[in-house]
Structure 1
Amino acid sequence: MALVLALACLAALALGDQRLAPGAVARALLAPGEGPAHVEIIVRGLRLPRAVLALLVGAALGVGGAVTQAILRNPLAEPGLLGINAGAALVAVLVIVELTAVPDSALPWLTFAGACAMSAAIWLLAWRGGSAALRVILIGVGLSALAGAAASFVSTFGEVTAVQRAMIWMAGSLQDARWDKVRLLALWLVLPMALAWLAARDLDVIAFGDSVARGLGQRVDRVRLTMILATAALSGAAVAAAGLIAFVGLAAPHIARRIVGHRHAALIPAAALCGAILVVAADVVARRLMPPAQVPVGLMTGFLGAPFFGWLLWKARR
């Protein structure tokens, strides 16, 4: 998977409006100043931060999906099922359409705050002396629908240009990839990813069900709350950096599970690699599909993920 990811990143650096030979890409990366200046600008200034941002976003969504499927014991679960993405999207639409005086630099922080606020609301509403997985799912679906309706209401009566900008953000885009955004996202993801990997044995246990986990001495509610917070941090940061990118959190854990099995000590890093591969590859296809126009990567992952979702539903029909 690491080799496939490296090849996908090489394709992301070489393909675009102007094709570059692999040798030119390697020279721009390994020997700056020795090749043409415009090649170095394209590779190091434009395509490399975009590829790294896609890698980080995909890894975050893949790990978030693996954790969500474990704590909810649902093979069709992903971070969006908890309403996290809907909370971030609602805040983004409000800021872009209604609060035009807010600077663009504040948008990622506000969308991340919306994701965390939605996670807190789901947990508080689902708590009934405990945190049953089914209640968390139902509350998440309900609040997600409510947030989606509110975002649509704001968009319906907003100024056309601002609404178009919000729609592009919600479609998922990597066009605003910058090194400062890449560094911030990388630093933010270290703690929740490490927390998810260190909790691998707890995730193995809780996947058997609350009764079995409690019988083995696990504090189920504490583990579920901690993992929901970790998922909110991962998914919220990814959405804040690149907008809504669909189906990666659903598909990446299933692909990784086919390769490494069900133990989360191996599944967590494998899901990160699979998610990174999916987003980087989808971005390459999106950039080459309708040149010079660039299809948002979120639309591309949606086109690729819908058949996968149908296959999962068919597989789980009994």
Structure 2
Amino acid sequence: MRIVTVLLATLAGLALASLALGDVTIPVHELTRAIVNPAAASPDTQVILLELRLPRALLSLLVGMALAVAGTVAQTVMRNPLAEPGILGINAGAALAATLLIVALPGAPTTLLPWASFAGAGAMATAIYTLSWRNGTSSLRIILIGIGLSSLTGAVTTLLTAFGDIRDVQRAMIWLAGSVYDADWSKVRLLALWLSGPLALIWLGARELDLIRFRDDAARSLGQRVNLMRGLTILLCTLISGAAVAAAGLIGFVGLIAPHLARRLVGPAHIRLIPVAALTGGVLVMAADLLGRTVIAPAQLPAGLVTALIGAPFLGYLLWGRRHVPA
């Protein structure tokens, strides 16, 4: 498919730029030599490329893919073009858990941070689905309850940062901004392993996602168990987005932008939409991270801030385009 080829070429270009550019710029000939024969590169180049920049680029790719697929699933299941894991409250649960660990338990080991944020995402998804159940679920109830719980957890997070120790609050704010600056090979391997199963299941369930796009009655008439399917997809969405947030913090708007761009490119059929959305999300986060660490170098902007600068106008564009659509 031509679109996939273009996206893969774009990812390859971004990867090469991410490896070459930074506080220390690596010339093209040295970068080529290091890629072709790593043993021939200088020790400093090997450390910069293999231990710092390559894991960061790969983690950006994985996080972008995860957030994009989670956003695609959320928009399909909720039948809402503005839906994403953030609006469902999943990310807010992860943020609260991480802030609790950093601010309220400052002596806790930092290795617990990814697990705490993932547990927070899972607990929030469970609460939303439980509270929305009333002889079944509906997209509207899930969205409204998600917004309400997201506001509640956001208020608690703000309360913690208002009264916490300033050093711990600064650590929490850096994490909440969303960044892949501390990427390493263990994070890359763990995230890749964790995402492989849920992403494969979502792609294999493309036909079911095509059905659930219709009204519940229409999906049931075609043989789909709607409540079961909605619960399973929300679970997979939580597993994917929770893992991405645990690895890189809150990087917003990728789950909103990437699915819309992918639909413009390949249409609504999920067998094509899911892989294209994943690649588009990878492009967005890799580009955001590259811009964040080069545009005002040696200072760095978190990738989450860059995606917010892009995503906020895009959200306004979507709202403006739907201003005449009946509520």
State the 1:24 CA deviation: 2.0
Q: Deviations over 1:203-254 (max 9, x none)?
A: 1011112121112111000110000000000100000000000100000011
User: Could you tell me the TM-score, scaled by structure 2's length?
Assistant: 0.96
State the match for 1:144 in structure 2.
150
Q: For 1:100, what is the secondary structure of its paired residue?
A: coil
Question: Structure 2: where are the runs of 5+ without partners?
Answer: 1-6
Q: Is the CA contact (8 Å cut-off) linking 1:17 and 1:292 kept in structure 2?
A: yes
| Equivalent residues of 1:28, 1:44 under 8 A apart | no
Establish whether residue 310 from structure 1 lines up as the match of residue 316 from structure 2. yes
Aligned to 1:267: 273
Question: Which residues of structure 1 form unaligned runs of 5+?
Answer: none
What is the TM-score when the length of structure 1 is the normalising length?
A: 0.98
Asked if residue 175 in structure 1 is aligned to residue 178 in structure 2, the reply is no
Query: Which residue is 1:155 aligned to?
Result: 161
Matched, 1:70 2:62: no
Distance 1:262 1:21 in 2: 42
Distance in 2 separating the partners of 1:153 and 1:303: 26
Q: Which moved more, 1:56-65 or 1:94-103?
A: 94-103
Aligned to 2:283: 277
CA distance in 2, matches of 1:241, 1:27: 31
Aligned residues with identical type, % of pairs: 56
Deviation at 1:168, TM superposition (A): 0.5
Question: For residues 1-318 of structure 1, what are the structure 2 equivalents within 5 Å?
Answer: 1-318=7-324
Q: Deviations over 1:86-130 (max 9, x none)?
A: 000000000001111211111101110110000000000000011
1:25: how far off?
A: 2.0
Q: Which amino acid aligns with 1:135?
A: R
- 2: CA distance, partners of 1:30 / 1:228: 43
What is the alpha-carbon distance in structure 2 between the residues aligned to residue 287 and residue 171 of structure 1? 14
1:189 is matched by which residue type in structure 2?
L
What secondary structure does 1:33 align onto?
A: helix
CA distance in 2, matches of 1:213, 1:23: 57
The alpha carbon displacement at 1:17 in A equals 1.1
Deviations 1:183-218 (A, max 9, x none): 000000011101110110011011112121112111
Shift of residue 53 of structure 1? Answer: 0.3
> Which range is displaced more, 206-215 or 231-240?
206-215
Q: CA deviation at 1:20?
A: 1.6
Give, as a single letter, the amino acid of the residue that structure 1 aligns with 2:63.
V
Deviation at 1:40, TM superposition (A): 1.4
Counterpart amino acid of residue 315 in structure 1 = G
Matched residue type, 1:36: S
SS in structure 1 at match of 2:87: helix
Deviation digits for residues 12-51 of structure 1, max 9, x if unmatched?
1111112222332232223112122211111111100000
